[in-house]
Amino acid sequence: MRIGDLVAATGASARSLRYYEQQGLLVSERTTGGQRRYPPSAVERVRLIQSLLAAGLSSSTIHDVLPCITEEAIRTPWLAERLRGELARVEDQISCLHRTRDILAGLVRQYA
Protein backbone atom coordinates (compact mmCIF):
# COMPACT_ATOMS: atom_id res chain seq x y z
CA MET A 1 0.00 0.00 0.00
CA ARG A 2 1.39 3.40 -0.97
CA ILE A 3 1.36 6.40 1.32
CA GLY A 4 -1.55 7.94 -0.61
CA ASP A 5 -3.58 4.77 -0.10
CA LEU A 6 -2.87 4.85 3.62
CA VAL A 7 -3.83 8.52 3.76
CA ALA A 8 -7.13 7.71 2.05
CA ALA A 9 -7.82 4.73 4.33
CA THR A 10 -7.08 6.50 7.62
CA GLY A 11 -7.57 10.21 7.08
CA ALA A 12 -4.08 10.84 8.42
CA SER A 13 -1.93 13.25 6.46
CA ALA A 14 1.17 12.05 4.64
CA ARG A 15 3.15 14.32 6.95
CA SER A 16 1.67 12.56 10.00
CA LEU A 17 2.52 9.16 8.56
CA ARG A 18 6.11 10.22 7.96
CA TYR A 19 6.24 11.56 11.54
CA TYR A 20 4.91 8.26 12.89
CA GLU A 21 7.72 6.53 11.02
CA GLN A 22 10.34 8.92 12.41
CA GLN A 23 9.06 8.18 15.91
CA GLY A 24 9.25 4.42 15.33
CA LEU A 25 5.48 3.99 15.55
CA LEU A 26 4.99 2.86 11.97
CA VAL A 27 7.17 0.87 9.59
CA SER A 28 7.34 0.92 5.82
CA GLU A 29 9.55 -0.60 3.19
CA ARG A 30 11.02 1.38 0.32
CA THR A 31 10.70 0.51 -3.32
CA THR A 32 13.71 0.78 -5.61
CA GLY A 33 12.33 4.20 -6.55
CA GLY A 34 12.32 5.24 -2.88
CA GLN A 35 8.55 5.18 -2.41
CA ARG A 36 7.12 4.00 0.88
CA ARG A 37 5.12 0.77 0.90
CA TYR A 38 3.01 -0.15 3.91
CA PRO A 39 1.56 -3.54 4.82
CA PRO A 40 -2.25 -3.85 4.97
CA SER A 41 -1.99 -3.98 8.79
CA ALA A 42 -0.77 -0.37 8.73
CA VAL A 43 -4.36 0.88 8.48
CA GLU A 44 -5.28 -0.62 11.85
CA ARG A 45 -1.99 0.52 13.39
CA VAL A 46 -2.45 4.12 12.22
CA ARG A 47 -6.00 4.15 13.60
CA LEU A 48 -4.68 2.90 16.94
CA ILE A 49 -1.97 5.57 16.95
CA GLN A 50 -4.57 8.23 16.14
CA SER A 51 -6.78 7.01 18.99
CA LEU A 52 -3.93 7.07 21.47
CA LEU A 53 -2.86 10.54 20.36
CA ALA A 54 -6.47 11.76 20.64
CA ALA A 55 -6.52 10.35 24.18
CA GLY A 56 -3.63 12.66 24.99
CA LEU A 57 -0.73 10.24 25.02
CA SER A 58 2.58 11.58 23.79
CA SER A 59 4.32 9.92 20.87
CA SER A 60 7.08 8.73 23.22
CA THR A 61 4.51 7.08 25.50
CA ILE A 62 2.80 5.53 22.48
CA HIS A 63 6.19 4.25 21.31
CA ASP A 64 6.66 2.48 24.64
CA VAL A 65 3.10 1.21 24.99
CA LEU A 66 2.19 0.24 21.41
CA PRO A 67 4.17 -3.01 21.28
CA CYS A 68 2.57 -4.10 24.55
CA ILE A 69 -0.90 -3.42 23.19
CA THR A 70 -0.36 -5.32 19.97
CA GLU A 71 1.70 -8.21 21.41
CA GLU A 72 0.07 -9.77 24.44
CA ALA A 73 3.18 -11.78 25.27
CA ILE A 74 5.18 -8.70 26.27
CA ARG A 75 2.59 -7.09 28.56
CA THR A 76 4.18 -6.29 31.88
CA PRO A 77 3.37 -4.68 35.22
CA TRP A 78 5.36 -1.72 33.87
CA LEU A 79 2.75 -1.25 31.14
CA ALA A 80 -0.10 -1.24 33.65
CA GLU A 81 1.71 1.33 35.79
CA ARG A 82 2.49 3.53 32.81
CA LEU A 83 -1.14 3.42 31.69
CA ARG A 84 -2.34 4.18 35.22
CA GLY A 85 -0.15 7.26 35.18
CA GLU A 86 -1.62 8.34 31.85
CA LEU A 87 -5.14 7.72 33.15
CA ALA A 88 -4.45 9.85 36.24
CA ARG A 89 -3.11 12.64 34.02
CA VAL A 90 -6.22 12.53 31.82
CA GLU A 91 -8.51 12.50 34.86
CA ASP A 92 -6.69 15.59 36.19
CA GLN A 93 -7.26 17.31 32.84
CA ILE A 94 -10.95 16.40 32.97
CA SER A 95 -11.22 17.88 36.47
CA CYS A 96 -9.56 21.08 35.28
CA LEU A 97 -11.93 21.26 32.32
CA HIS A 98 -14.94 20.80 34.60
CA ARG A 99 -13.74 23.68 36.81
CA THR A 100 -13.15 25.86 33.75
CA ARG A 101 -16.61 24.99 32.42
CA ASP A 102 -18.21 25.91 35.76
CA ILE A 103 -16.38 29.25 35.84
CA LEU A 104 -17.40 30.05 32.26
CA ALA A 105 -21.00 29.00 32.89
CA GLY A 106 -21.10 31.33 35.90
CA LEU A 107 -19.73 34.19 33.82
CA VAL A 108 -22.28 33.56 31.09
CA ARG A 109 -25.11 33.63 33.65
CA GLN A 110 -23.68 36.76 35.22
CA TYR A 111 -23.25 38.72 32.00
CA ALA A 112 -26.11 37.37 29.90
pLDDT digits (tens, 9 = 90+) for 41-77: 999 999 999 999 998 888 888 988 888 777 776 777 8
Asked if the model's pLDDT at residue 21 lies above 90, the reply is yes
Q: What digits encode the pLDDT tens for the residues 72-106? A: 767 778 878 888 988 898 899 999 999 999 999 99
For 23, residues 6+ apart whose C-beta sits below 8 A from its C-beta are 59, 60, 62, 63
Return the CATH architecture of domain 1-75: Orthogonal Bundle (1.10)
> What is the per-residue pLDDT for 91?
93
> What is the per-residue pLDDT for 67?
81
24: alpha, beta or left? (left if phi > 0; alpha if psi -120 to 50): left
